[in-house]
Amino acid sequence: MGGPFAWNGTYGMLTPAQQCALHTARFMHDHGVSQEALCEIALACYANAQRNPRALRFGKPLTREAYHASRWIVRPFHLYDCCPENDGAAAVVVTTAERARDLPHRPAPILAAASGLGPAYGAFDQATLGSAHYQQVGKHLWENAGCRPEDVDVAQFYENFTGQVLMALCEMGFTTPDGVEEFVSGGRLVGPDAAFPFNTSGGNLGEAYIHGFELVNESVRQIRGTSTCQVKSVERALVVAGPGYCPGSAVLFGDPT
In contact, 42 and 205? CB cutoff 8 Å: yes
- The number of C-alpha atoms within 13 Å of 113 and in the hemisphere containing its C-beta is 9
Q: What's the Cα-to-Cα distance from 80 to each of 22, 60, 63, 144, 235, rounded to whole Å? A: 17, 12, 10, 35, 32
Q: What is the dihedral of CA 167, 48, 192, 173, to 10 degrees?
A: 10
In contact, 100 and 110? CB cutoff 8 Å: no
In contact, 248 and 135? CB cutoff 8 Å: no
SS3 177: coil
Q: What is the pLDDT of residue 123?
A: 46
11 is catalytic: no
Distance between CA atoms of 138 and 152, rounded to whole angstroms? 13
* Annotated active-site residue in 46, 121, 134, 158: 158
Residue 218, burial from CB neighbour count under 10 angstroms (0-12, 13-18, 19+):
buried
Distance between CA atoms of 60 and 47, rounded to whole angstroms? 9
- Closest CA relative to residue 21, chosen from 42, 45, 38, 4: 38
Q: How many residues are recorded in the chain?
A: 257
pTM (predicted TM-score): 0.94
* Annotated active-site residue in 46, 80, 121, 209: 209
7 CB contacts (<8 Å, ≥6 apart)? none
Residue 191, burial from CB neighbour count under 10 angstroms (0-12, 13-18, 19+):
middle
Amino acid code (one letter) for 144: N
Residues in the chain, pLDDT under 70:
4, 118-128, 243-246
Q: What is the pLDDT of residue 1?
A: 74
58: β partners: none
Pairing of β 154-157 and β 236-241: parallel
Distance between CA atoms of 239 and 234, rounded to whole angstroms? 14
Query: Looking at domain 5-254, does it have CATH number 3.40.50.300?
Result: no
67 is catalytic: no
E strand or H helix that includes residue 112:
strand 110-116
Cα–Cα–Cα angle for 240, 245, 249, rounded to 5 degrees: 30
Q: What is the pLDDT of residue 120?
A: 57
- Closest CA relative to residue 205, chosen from 86, 89, 91, 73: 86
In contact, 214 and 241? CB cutoff 8 Å: no
